[in-house]
């Protein structure tokens, strides 16, 4: 009996579970809520085509327009300068940059001048008897001869006989030798050719200088040139005299320059040409790195946009109704941050800022600013 009761209870439990399952299964499930898709909002700008200046950006280092490298053509001890021969020291036009000791050469020059004087004196008696018409001018030349002064030109020869007679006495060759020594004596002193500053000094006073030795560099700090490389496609558009905006690397200072020279040679490796921009102003220094903005030409019927708005460099998103449409355009010129484009009609609305994840046909709403 006990087993029968336990069996009946088990059957009842199973039956109750079956009916409960059917009851709950027959009840209707609530419909899932629809998740509304968020429609992104965008800012737009209206295309207004016009004439857009194409600016070519290039960079380079400033160099003084007037500069000399100081070399020695003679040998001697560096003994004098009108100022301290050090980098950064200023010299006025005509002042002595450096002077080498020339005592030995000066003594040799006096000796050669004396020899010339003696040679001319020795031929005066023959001139007096054989060429009396030529005697006075040679006598006058000897009377004014001074070994401490610059050698004067020989008297003018008026006849072939006199010419042959003078040449036979070796007067001309001696005179030219003396004149050559005078010219060499002038090389012991180097003068400043303009107002400027010493940017490099390789010797100190008391040092022995040898021929061909580089002594330093001297520049004019008032006028500079910036050499930049420009794409050869703009070779026919750049003109000497074009105004150029120059900026330092931080773009905190600006100077105005002008295209001074254009190299007609195109670099075969880079396909660029050299443009030289003349500039002067406060704050400029030798070797300073500058960026130049050159206006090469104006492109008609174009519009300038941010480069971030371009897709594949030749497409932009256009707003038509409430959808984005990807349209192909013609890129005319690229700068670091912008692009000059052609191919959109006036009044066309394009994105002002690129929308992340944008695609052709995407539904959007427009922000009304």
Does the pLDDT at position 19 exceed 90?
A: no
Asked, for residue 11, whether it belongs to a domain, the answer is no
Question: pLDDT tens digit string along 192-206?
Answer: 999 999 999 999 999
Pair 198, 228 in one domain: no
Asked, for residue 24, whether it belongs to a domain, the answer is no
Phi, psi of 20 (to 5 degrees): -65, -40
3 state DSSP class of 105: helix
pLDDT at 270: 83
Q: Which of 33-37, 183-187, 214-218, 309-313 has the lowest mean pLDDT?
A: 33-37
238 against 111, higher pLDDT: 111
Asked, for residue 25, whether it belongs to a domain, the answer is no
Percentage of residues in the chain having pLDDT higher than 90: 46
C-alpha distances in Å from residue 35, one per residue of 32, 38, 41, 322: 9, 9, 19, 21
Does the pLDDT at position 12 exceed 80?
A: no
Pair 174, 49 in one domain: no
Please tell me the total count of domains within the chain: 4
Domain that holds residue 278: 56-63+221-297
Does the pLDDT at position 51 exceed 60?
A: yes
Picking from 177, 201, 218, the residue at the C-terminal end of a domain is: 218
Does the pLDDT at position 31 exceed 60?
A: no
pLDDT-derived band at 368, boundaries 50, 70, 90: low
Asked, for residue 36, whether it belongs to a domain, the answer is no
Q: How far is CA 200 from the centre of its chain?
A: 21
pLDDT at 20: 66
Of the candidates 295, 282, 341, the one whose C-alpha atom is nearest the C-alpha of residue 314 is 341
- Whole-angstrom distance, CA of residue 259 vs CA of residue 294: 9
What's the whole-number mean pLDDT along residues 201-229? 93
Asked, for residue 248, whether it belongs to a domain, the answer is yes
C-alpha Rg value of the chain to the nearest Å: 46
Pair 205, 250 in one domain: no
Does the pLDDT at position 114 exceed 90?
A: yes
Pair 207, 241 in one domain: no
Phi, psi of 58 (to 5 degrees): -140, 165
């Amino acid at each position: 009996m006990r087993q029968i009761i336990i069996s009946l209870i088990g059957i009842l439990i199973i039956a109750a579970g079956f009916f409960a399952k059917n009851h709950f299964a027959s009840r209707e499930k609530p419909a899932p809520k629809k998740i509304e898709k968020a429609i992104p909002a965008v800012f737009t700008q209206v295309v207004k085509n016009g004439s857009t200046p194409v600016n070519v950006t290039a960079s380079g280092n400033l160099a003084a327009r007037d500069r000399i490298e100081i070399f020695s053509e003679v040998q001697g001890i560096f003994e004098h300068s009108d100022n301290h021969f050090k980098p950064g020291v200023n010299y006025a036009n005509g002042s002595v940059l450096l002077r080498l000791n020339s005592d030995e050469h000066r003594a040799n020059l006096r000796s050669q001048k004396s020899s010339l004087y003696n040679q001319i004196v020795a031929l005066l008696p023959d001139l007096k008897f054989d060429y009396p018409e030529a005697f006075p001018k040679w006598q006058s030349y000897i009377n004014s001869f001074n070994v401490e002064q610059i050698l004067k030109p020989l008297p003018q020869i008026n006849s072939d006989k006199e010419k042959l007679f003078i040449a036979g006495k070796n007067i001309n060759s001696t005179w030219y030798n003396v004149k050559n020594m005078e010219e060499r004596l002038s090389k012991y002193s180097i003068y400043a050719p303009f107002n400027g500053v010493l940017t490099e000094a390789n010797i100190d006073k008391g040092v022995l200088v040898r021929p061909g030795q580089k002594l330093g560099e001297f520049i004019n700090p008032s006028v500079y040139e910036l050499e930049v490389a420009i794409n050869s496609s703009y070779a026919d558009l750049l003109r000497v005299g074009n105004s150029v905006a120059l900026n330092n690397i931080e773009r905190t200072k600006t100077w105005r320059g002008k295209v001074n020279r254009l190299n007609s040679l195109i670099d075969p490796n880079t396909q660029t040409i050299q443009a030289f921009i003349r500039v002067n102003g406060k704050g400029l220094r030798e070797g300073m790195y500058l960026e130049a903005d050159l206006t090469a030409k104006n492109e008609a019927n174009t519009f300038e946009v941010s480069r971030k708005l371009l897709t594949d460099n030749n497409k932009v998103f256009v707003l038509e109704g409430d959808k984005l449409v990807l349209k192909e355009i013609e890129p005319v010129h690229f700068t670091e941050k912008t692009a000059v484009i052609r191919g959109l009609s006036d009044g066309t609305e394009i994105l002002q800022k690129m929308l992340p994840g944008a695609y052709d046909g995407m539904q959007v709403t427009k922000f009304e600013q």
